[in-house]
Amino acid sequence: MLLAFPSLMYAYITVRAVTGDRRGSNFLSFWQAGRMVLHGQSPYPLLDALPAVADRFTFDPFVYPAPAAYWMVPLAILPFAVAKTLFLVLNLGSIVVALRLLDVRDWRCHAAAFASVPVVAGASLGTFSPLLLLGAAAAWRYRDRAARVGLIVAVLVVAKLFLWPLWLWLVYTRRFAAAALSASVGAAITLAAWWGLGFAGFRDYPRVLSRLTELVGTNSYSPYALLHAGGLSGATAQRFVFALGAVLVVLAAWRFSAIRKDDRAFVAALGIALVLTPILWPHYLVLLFVPIALLRRTLSPLWLLPLLIWFDGHAWSYGDPARIVPFLALCAVPFVLALRQAPVRPLKLSV
């Protein structure tokens, strides 16, 4: 029964990919951005053209940094159905490779990951999230190779800006060469990509992101959404989140300064990234498998924790604290346990 429903979901997802179904597909905006770059056009929406209210089924503008649009060019050359199918294969393969990079060999752990909402949602929508898990796993695996980890962190931050605390992890763990390489490469490829677009959308990009936060951030599962639901204005909620992030950074630096545990600092950086992002969707939680894998590489109750998200199953919180609070509490469990290095006993299941 554990695999029956996800198997049906993946069959449905595969059919949608092969037939080129464009409904509710994040990948559509990626594919279109790549095609626009091919034709020398800017993939970014005009600030004045953004709607007053966002609809979860139709609102999906391209708002990633410019390099991401160029990365989609090889897929944009292909017909949409072919490109979407290849991207699905890439996403699913990324999960397998990421878990192996984290030294997870137990097939039951892989099955639990594939049965979880974050992986199913990421595959269904065609998001970057499975690739982010692969990048995070690779950064951890190659953490002692300055050139590799520096380039990996640069790509991760450029792909998803909220992962910038990983750069702080490089600095905190005294990987100064990797941090310098990461910052310089990230800045270079970002400027080069925007230069290729004639810097179209560059000036308005921060305001577009701010407007995106107003439109959908309050409908996500982030601490920002929870504070906004509590009655704070968007700007005030954002300031509270930044203050919380600063406290967490200082607390992590102080807590681990004596022991300098690399794994704890890495987990803390990922946790702080998820706290700070004003937009937090269920598929972002593929990153939970990093602290879970670092705690236990064989099946344990922690591997089943992301399955609990099925009890809600809504893609948007619609600013409902009754949805946001349990979601954030569930997110916190593997991070808190990993930071405390609490032992988790393996789970024995007869399959």
- For the chain, domain boundaries: 4-45+64-340
CB atoms within 10 A of CB 90: 14
Confidence (pLDDT) at 55: 60
Confidence (pLDDT) at 44: 82
Confidence (pLDDT) at 259: 47
Residues 238 and 224 sit within 8 Å (Cβ to Cβ): yes
- Distance between CA atoms of 167 and 185, rounded to whole angstroms? 12
Q: What is the pLDDT along the chain (351 residues), one digit of tens a residue?
A: 556 677 788 888 889 888 888 887 889 989 999 999 988 888 887 766 666 555 665 667 788 889 999 999 999 999 999 999 999 999 999 999 999 999 999 999 999 999 999 999 999 888 999 999 999 999 999 999 999 999 999 999 999 999 999 999 999 888 999 999 999 999 999 999 999 888 887 888 888 888 888 888 889 999 999 999 988 888 898 899 989 888 888 877 776 654 456 788 899 999 999 999 999 999 999 999 999 999 999 999 999 999 988 887 677 888 899 999 999 999 999 999 988 775 445 555 544
Alpha-carbon torsion angle 160, 9, 218, 227, nearest 10: -90
CB atoms within 10 A of CB 13: 20
- Distance between CA atoms of 219 and 215, rounded to whole angstroms? 8
Residues 151 and 181 sit within 8 Å (Cβ to Cβ): yes
Confidence (pLDDT) at 258: 45
The half-sphere exposure of 103 on its side-chain side, counting CA atoms within 13 A, is 8
Confidence (pLDDT) at 22: 83
- Distance between CA atoms of 62 and 208, rounded to whole angstroms? 10
Confidence (pLDDT) at 46: 73
